[in-house]
Amino acid sequence: MPASRESAGTLDSGQPLQPPLAIAIVGPEEVPGITKLARGIERLLTDRGHTVSVRLAVRTAWEPEGPDASPENIAQKADLVIVLGGDGSILRTARWMGYRQTPVLGVNLGRLGFLADFSPTEIEGAIAELMEGRFRLVEHMMFETEVIRDDQVVAADLGLNETSLLAGPPFAMIEIELFVDGELATVYRGDGLIISTPVGSTAYNLSAGGPIVRKSLEAFIFTPLNPHTLTNRTVIDAASREYYLVVPAPNEGSACVVDGRLLTLLQPGDQIRVALAKPRFHLIETSQHGYYSTLRDKLAWGGGLNRPAAPPLPESSS
Residue 107 near residue 287, CB atoms below 8 Å: no
Longest dimension (CA), the chain: 83
Cα–Cα distance measured from residue 206 to residue 221, given in angstroms and rounded to the nearest whole number = 11
DSSP assigned state of 216: T
Distance of CA 125 to the CA centre of its chain: 24
Q: Which residue is catalytic, options 79, 87, 237, 270?
A: 87
DSSP assigned state of 90: H
Q: For the chain, what is the total number of helices (H) and then of strands (E)?
A: 6, 18
Name which of 36, 63, 209, 89 is nearest 81 in CA terms.
89
DSSP assigned state of 60: G
Question: Is residue 87 flagged as an active site residue?
Answer: yes
Residue 84 makes CB contacts below 8 A (sequence gap 6+) with 25, 26, 27, 28, 31, 34, 37, 38, 56, 107, 109
What torsion, rounded to 10 degrees, do the Cα atoms 9, 11, 15, 16 define? 140
Residues designated catalytic: 87
